[in-house]
Structure 1
Amino acid sequence: MFRSAILRAGKVSPRTIVQPQLFGTQRVAWTGFSSIRFNSSDSSAVSDAAAGAASKVSEIQTQLPSFDENTIETVSQVGQVIGDASNQIGYLSSIGMAKSWLWPPDLIQNVMEQIHFYAGLPWWATICVTTVLARVLLFPLYVKYSDTLGRTSKIKPEMDKVNADLMACSDTTKAQQIAMKRRKLLSENGIKNRYLIVPVVQIPIAISFFTSIREMCLYPVDGLATQGIAWFQNLTLADPYLGLQCLTAAMFVALARKGGESGAQQFSPQMKKVFTYLPILTIPVTMNLSAGVVLYLAVNGVCSMIQTLLLRNQTARKFLNIAEVVNHPAPENQGPQKGVFESFRENIQKAKDQAEKRAMMKEQDDKMKDLAKKEKENQRIKIVRKK
């Protein structure tokens, strides 16, 4: 009431103020009070001032650009620039990744970037292709590993006897003779123990894949959030249905049942139980990992299973010249099979006894060397008699 009374009395100069909204095109006009004049003015002057203010406001409205259109255009241009840059070689290096071709995680990131750019594959397919490529490069080593296990299975009874004699021996000279016999037995059957470390070689490769893909998902690299497949469209987030985790666990359980990645390993029933339940425990452990990381684990498990089935096939083994696995019957005096923990304790005790015997043999060997040295020095002493 006070405001309307003042305006009717002509004692206020009206001012129209326009407040543009930042994220909309609507402009709100409202009437404010610039000053209260106590001198009586003509109503025509007030109307002229209001008309001038309205014309200035309309002129400002026509001159101001549309903030929303410019913002949308700018954001779209920035997004297009980032998208174009992410599809070029060197994008990962520009954001602090893939700095070297020598460090394994950086090497894998460089290879994935090359495949993603030149093959034009989405990121989920890039991860799969890179994983398969790594398994193909490792396949010849697994062929040698499976062949070594097959050749070793043929001479298992002789090797067990030689190893038992070597463990029970306490004489240095006799132990050397047994070791020479063992070395000759391996050489005659074409067995090279260096291929037995092939499964260990895959461990740093798996760690490098895990580290590189996890770093890319945590950044995240442009495209990983939209270039997924099936139920995991966003590779930077965890699998919402745990499908990849269950697939990985199933592959490793089947892998243990089929004799490992070489297809020739012979696990005891107790070890098979351990390898059956252990992969199931990995499901809650990996449930919060990015889908890109678990995708690598699942594809790696599928490749391992395919490799196992191939190396167990008789036709494939003959074509690749892999020795057949010979299953020898268990000795009659072996007794019932021992449990996992009992076997573990027995192996630790055997290793401890062997270490003590080796220390004793080394001590005896040092004593023999000292005696031989003293005898050699005594031979140089000449007894001189005075005439």
Structure 2
Amino acid sequence: MIRIGLSRSTMSMVGSRSLLSRNATLAFKPQFITPTTITKSMALSSIRFNSTNSTTTTPTISNTLPSFEEVNSSTGEIIDKITTTLHSTELGYLDSIGMAQGWGPTATIEKLLEITHVYTGLPWWGTIVCLTIGIRLILFPLYMKSSVNMSKMQKVKPQLDQIMNDVKNAETSNERYLALQERKQIMKSEGIKTYLSAAPLIQLPFAYGFFQALRKMANHPVEGFENEGYAWFQNLADVDPYLGLQGISAALIIMVIRFGGETGMNQQMAKPMKTMLTLLPIASIFITKNFSAAVVLYFMINSIFSLIQASLFKSSYFRKILKMPPMIKNTNNTKANQSMGDFVGDFIEKNKQTAITKARQTDKKLLNTKRKQLNSHGFIKRHDK
């Protein structure tokens, strides 16, 4: 019995030992490490400990806005100002800093400024003066044609004014049509062309181009703008500290208005209107006080040329040399010496008469419509069933 018990216990011990060895073998079975296993483990660890990573950088918040030159217009991202190895005395300099690209008014003026600056060798203030005068000389024939056209209109002005009054007071469309045809015949016989009166407006794209180009060049600033000024405005990128350029420009514009405008023919302007146009240049001093000296320098040179041009057109000797018709002064003009009260009174009375005339025309049309309706009912016999 004892032998059988020992043998059974021995067998159980052997069985348990073999079971332990099989479990140990399964527990310590070697596993092969692959790159995929490493990548997964690194990803898990980074996800697990991302919140406790001490090297994470926090975004900084700026309390100032970037300038327009530092923002990319297409993406809105903040970028550094464009730098170049070229100089302002070389062609292509403005293009290398992002200017003079395209053929709009601003880009065209920028290209012309660069060409003038490079080929003449003038400083920037001289370049602005030279190009401004050059463009005004090119436009001078258009102003001359406009002055000739306005002098022809001044000759037949009483007749044209009477016709326009007839047009306003016409009671029927036929009367209005006949009056307009008469006006057309008079203008054709005198060689008057309406579009020539608006010829000076061709200057507006050039004025806009100069303003935008010089403003951009001063804000960059372009090389040489800070020290190639003149007299008291050595820095063209800065404002005029004495407002001297603004004051000179305002005085010149007032003189141009007194001379009859750039064509020299606006002499029939009412006194209150002249007073109003005189106050506007004075107000422009405060409007342009923060403009760069380069921009206001253009205004001043343009005003000087306008004053010279108006003086020439008023000269009978100059008009005779260029075979321009003489200026005709209308002695029957009573509006030139009107006071402000009379001017306002005439304006109100004119609008009142226009309103009365339109009301009468409307009443007349309504009466004609009613008569037609009555006539139609009288001729058509109705049979009621």
TM-score scaled by structure 1? 0.67
RMSD across aligned positions (CA): 3.0
What percent of counterpart residues are identical? 35
Out of 293, 304, 312, the residue aligned to residue 302 of structure 1 is 304
Query: Quick one: distance in 1 between partners of 2:348 and 2:90?
Result: 56
Out of 325, 328, 350, the residue aligned to residue 327 of structure 2 is 325
- Structure 1 unaligned segments of length 5 or more: list them: 1-80, 372-387
Out of 92, 95, 106, the residue aligned to residue 90 of structure 1 is 92
Contact 1:151 1:324 in 2 (8 A): no
Deviation at 1:331, TM superposition (A): 6.8
Q: Which has the higher strand share?
A: 1
State the partner residue of 2:218: 217
Contact 2:271 2:337 in 1 (8 A): no
Contact 2:149 2:192 in 1 (8 A): yes
Deviation at 1:243, TM superposition (A): 1.0
Query: Quick one: distance in 2 between partners of 1:119 and 1:281?
Result: 36
What amino acid is the match of 1:325? M
Measured against aligned partners, the alpha-carbon deviations of 1:161-188 in whole angstroms (never above 9, x if no partner) come to 1111111112112211111110000111
What amino acid is the match of 2:296? V
Deviation at 1:277, TM superposition (A): 2.0
Query: Quick one: distance in 1 between partners of 2:223 and 2:356?
Result: 58
User: 5 Å matches for 1:171-190?
Assistant: 171-190=172-191
Query: Quick one: distance in 2 between partners of 1:174 and 1:315?
Result: 44
Deviation at 1:352, TM superposition (A): 6.8
Deviation at 1:234, TM superposition (A): 0.3
Contact 1:92 1:113 in 2 (8 A): yes
Closer, same or farther in 2 for the Cα pair 1:104/1:342, shift >3 Å?
farther
Contact 2:142 2:199 in 1 (8 A): yes
User: 5 Å matches for 1:76-225?
Assistant: 84-101=86-103, 103-225=104-226
What amino acid is the match of 1:128? V
Contact 1:123 1:224 in 2 (8 A): yes
User: 5 Å matches for 1:333-344?
Assistant: 337=338, 339=340, 340-342=343-345
Query: Quick one: distance in 2 between partners of 1:352 and 1:115?
Result: 57
Secondary structure of 2:232's partner? coil
Deviation at 1:313, TM superposition (A): 1.0
Closer, same or farther in 2 for the Cα pair 1:137/1:353, shift >3 Å?
farther
Contact 1:149 1:325 in 2 (8 A): no
- Structure 2 unaligned segments of length 5 or more: list them: 1-82, 374-385
Contact 2:271 2:336 in 1 (8 A): no
What amino acid is the match of 1:237? D
Query: Quick one: distance in 2 between partners of 1:312 and 1:336?
Result: 21
Query: Quick one: distance in 1 between partners of 2:296 and 2:350?
Result: 35
Contact 1:83 1:222 in 2 (8 A): no
Deviation at 1:360, TM superposition (A): 6.2
More displaced stretch, 270-279 vs 306-315: 270-279
Closer, same or farther in 2 for the Cα pair 1:317/1:237, shift >3 Å?
same
Measured against aligned partners, the alpha-carbon deviations of 1:122-146 in whole angstroms (never above 9, x if no partner) come to 1001111111111111111110111
Contact 2:129 2:298 in 1 (8 A): yes
